[in-house]
Homo-oligomer: A and B are copies of this chain.
Amino acid sequence: MISVIIAGFNGAMGQKAVQLVTATPEFQLAGVFNPHVTSRRATDYGLDDAVTVYNDLEQITTPADVWLDFSTPSGVATNAQFAITRRMRPVIGTSGLTEDQQRQLQATANARQLGGIIAPNFGLTAVLMMKFAQQAAAYLKRAEIVEYHHEDKVDAPSGTALNTARLIYEAQRVDEPQPSAELDPLGARGGDYHGIKIHAVRLPGVVADEEVIFGGPGETLTIKQSTTDRQSFMTGVRLAIAAVVQRQDLVIGLENIL
């Protein structure tokens, strides 16, 4: 049985995390934390009486096995540091940690041989897609990425698409070859990352899909990840919790525990 404290328990992701931990027989929800709540009665949040509600880190005198963090960019660094010093393994889904902060947390955790994970994306299929793309890139020299998101996403390309391009480039270490004289008056060839083209589609009816297409003589390989419901992220969180209690180091990116 793995005991868990959830930071940011009443945000959108935090609520899904509470459901996940409660519904998983091997997990036990020991406590929840949010410095901005006033009531400390569990039942006020629809939680079981056995769950302790904290609104100050100093109240946490009984550490859990795992610190699951879906709090805020401003609080996450302090939370993670606190968790590690109390020997609670951090599983961090909150964005906002700088690379410096990440390295520092990693050093602190590793020095104590404490497992942990900081992950920008807990989507299991997204991470598997990136992992496979990196492997395929060693054998197939040409790749393009097409990502599809709902029409309200205003930035393009998606972080996952850009990250996938980066992983492909790291595996190939040379810019992908391009036709020498391309005629493209409208910019239809899309964004470019070291020769890897990225195309962003925005349409209602789509949640979040991404595909990488590799081409070689007479054949193509397509790896496509499709999301129909945001609850998908919880599959990755469950894997992360199970992994950190087995590890003695803190890793960055879900791909490192798959």
Contact = CB atoms under 8 A, between A and B. Distances in A.
A190 interface: yes
Contacts of A203: 142-144, 213-215, 220
Interface in A226-258: 226-232, 234-235, 239, 258
Interface stretch (A5-13, A106-114, A129-137): A129-137
A191 interface: yes
| Total identical chains | 4
Contacts of A125: 140, 214, 216, 219-221
Interface residues of A, number: 72
A193 interface: yes
B124 A128 contact: no
Interface string A78-112: 00000000000000000000000000000000000
Nearest to A139: B124
A224 interface: yes
Contacts of A218: 205, 227-232
Contact of A229 (B182, B217, B231, B258): B217
Nearest to A177: B151
Contacts of A157: 184, 186, 188
A179 to B, nearest CB: 5
Interface in A145-171: 146, 148, 151-152, 154-157, 161
Contacts of A221: 125, 128-129, 223-226
A37 to B, nearest CB: 28
Given A218-B227, A226-B205, A239-B139, A190 B200 contact: yes
Interface string A27-63: 0000000000000000000000000000000000000
Interface of A: 123-125, 128-129, 131-132, 135-136, 139-140, 142-144, 146, 148, 151-152, 154-157, 161, 179, 181-193, 197-207, 213-232, 234-235, 239, 258
